[in-house]
Structure formats: C-alpha cells, structure tokens
Amino acid sequence: MESEILVVGEALIDVVRRAGAEEEAYPGGSPLNVAIGLGRLGQEPTLATWYGRDEWAAMIESHCARSNVRILPGSDQAPFTTTASALIDEQGSATYTFHADFHIAPLPQRHWRIIHTGSLAALIEPGASEILGFIEAMKGRAFISFDPNCRPAAMGDHDLVRPLVERYVAASDLVKVSNEDLAWIYPNQDTEEAWLDQARCWVGLGPSVVVVTMGAQGAWAVTADTCLRVLADSSILLQDTVGAGDSFMSGLLHGVLTSNATDLAALADPVTLAPILTLAARISDITVSRRGADPPWLFELHLGAGESP
C-alpha cells in the first residue's frame, strides 16, 4: 500500500550539549521529527529528505524504520549529512548552529492525501526553490501544511525569508507557527494581540487554519470566523523543548487524518478543530516532559496521569 502522507525537508543529526553533561547525538530536523511523530501515532508517512552515506546515515535510517517512517528513494545522495549543534540552557531551551547541505530528493507528483513541509530545507536554497515549486504545483491536489520553524542562525536576513514564508502560507491549507517565528519574521511583533493579528492576515492569504503556538502559554487556532485557545499542561515537568513544536505539528496532522478534516470546511469548524488542537497540545506536553525530540506513541496517549509506558 502506498503512503498517503509526504513530509518534505531536512533529516539531520542534533549534536546536543548541556551544561555539566557529555555530548549526545540524536536524529533530528523539523520535518524528520514531524514524520517520526506521525509514524508513532499509527500513520505511515514517507519522508523526502537529503543526507549522506556517512557515519550518520544508519542513525537516521534506523530511527525512521523504528517509527514507521518510509524514506523516499534517492534521499541519501547528499555529500554529507547535515548536523545541528544544539546548546541547551538551564531553562531547557535550545539554540542551534549548523553544518548543512539543504538540497532535496526528487519529489514525485503522484496522489498524496497530505503534504507537509517547513523549516531549513524549505527556506534555504537550493531546497527552497525545489520544495516551493513542488508545493505550489500540488496546491489543490493534496492537503498541504506548513511550519516555518525558523532558525535565524542558518536562515540569515528575515527580510529575504519573509516573502518566501508568505508564498508557502498562501499555498497551504494548515499553517503552524510559533510566536518566536512570528517575532523574527515580523520584527517588533512581540505581543499576543500582534501574533493573532498576523495569523488573521495569513488566513487571508489562503489557509483555512493558522495555529500560533506560544510554549508554556498554550496555542491559538485562527480561522476566518473564530479563534480557539488551548492551554499547556502546567503540571508537566519540563525537560527541554527540543521537538516540542514538531510533535505539536504531527498531532495536528494526526487529528486532521482521524477527523477526516482534510475537508477544509470541516477543519475550520470549531467542533472539529477544538479536539484536534487539544490532541496536539497533549502530544507536545508529553514530548517536553522527556529529553530530546522523543514524541509519544499512540498507546501513550491513553495512559492515565502518572502512568508509565
């Protein structure tokens, strides 16, 4: 059976450094993390990516295989595998530096039910032109989601990135963006009111829903007609925020699939959207309660408070 979900973008190695701890390495990258999250929730996504046949390849491939993620053939032709050095501060937040090659494997324009993209490969050349062209060609032929997941250290000038982000937004049906992303893309937008106003502007470009995540303050979902909010679980013991937004994104897409909300009118209906938003928040809460980009498996969502898998 062919996969119905295509996730497009970087698979890389996060080299994580914490104060007083030994260096650790994990497979990462926003699109990879979204694909892993979907695979663990019972979906079978295909990941179109770009990594090398080097010492990191087996780590990426085994990580995908364990979490029900297929890798698109041709994704392993990069000259080297991109690495991201993540420095974790005392509050658990991560900052990144990159050694990168952002190309992408050839993308098949066959039937896909959902196509998701975002972050580095989608916004840095040469991947940006390749992926954006594909996304715009597939608009109306698949349900398209986008998360800019900006990394200023690698992306450079926000004035150059902004029009590219807005083209992806216009081609998408569902957009997730963090408040930090909005504050970087649109400088001086540092209030909740400003974030919601920008989300409304983005809805005007084309998507049915724009979700703004705000870390410990929860998230808003904005449609043409309404705004819905979900709060983060304040009882969660934060380990770090690595992969939190990506697991939220995979939760949104899992909710879209299980609610049959690829029908855009259904997605914008608060009756459908509210439980999708709640599910995504729960998945993200579980992820931040443990180290690294380690999203939950489907069975973990059914565990009661305080239970362990």
Read off the pLDDT of each residue in 73-85 and give the average, rounded to a whole number. Answer: 94
What pLDDT does 180 receive? 95
> How many whole angstroms separate alpha carbon 229 and alpha carbon 259?
19
More confident residue, 84 or 32: 32
Spatial CB neighbours of 161, under 8 Å, sequence gap ≥ 6: 123, 150, 155, 185
Read off the pLDDT of each residue in 274-284 and give the average, rounded to a whole number. Answer: 95
The answer to whether residue 82 scores a pLDDT higher than 80 is yes
Question: For all residues of the chain together, what is the average pLDDT?
Answer: 91
Task: Name the CATH superfamily, with its identifier, for domain 5-298.
Answer: Ribokinase (3.40.1190.20)
Read off the pLDDT of each residue in 277-301 and give the average, rounded to a whole number. Answer: 91
The answer to whether residue 306 scores a pLDDT higher than 50 is no
What pLDDT does 1 receive? 60
> How many whole angstroms separate alpha carbon 257 and alpha carbon 38?
10
What pLDDT does 12 receive? 94
Under the banding of pLDDT at 50, 70 and 90, the label for residue 303 is: low
Q: What is the pLDDT of residues 231-258, one digit of tens each?
A: 988 778 878 777 899 999 999 999 999 9
pLDDT-wise least confident of 164-168, 202-206, 209-213, 257-261: 257-261
> How many whole angstroms separate alpha carbon 163 and alpha carbon 158?
9
Dihedral (CA of 145, 148, 154, 157) sign: positive
CA 243-64-248 angle, 5° bins: 25
The strand pair at 83-88 and 12-18 is best described as: parallel
What pLDDT does 118 receive? 98
Hey, what amino acid is at 66? Answer: R
Q: What angle separates helix 57-66 from helix 30-40, to the nearest 10 degrees?
A: 30
More confident residue, 151 or 49: 49
3 state DSSP class of 90? coil
What pLDDT does 111 receive? 92
What pLDDT does 242 receive? 75
Place of tokens 């049906």: 173
The domain limits of the chain are: 5-298
Hey, what amino acid is at 309? Answer: P
Cα-based distances in Å from 183 to 140, 150, 187, 210, 214: 30, 10, 5, 16, 11
The gap between the terminal CA atoms of the chain, to the nearest Å, is 30
> How many whole angstroms separate alpha carbon 142 and alpha carbon 137?
10
What pLDDT does 309 receive? 45
Per DSSP, what are the bridge partners of residue 25?
Answer: 15
Tell me the H-state helices in 141-235.
152-155, 158-171, 179-185, 192-205
> DSSP secondary-structure letter at 68?
T
Read off the pLDDT of each residue in 87-114 and give the average, rounded to a whole number. Answer: 86
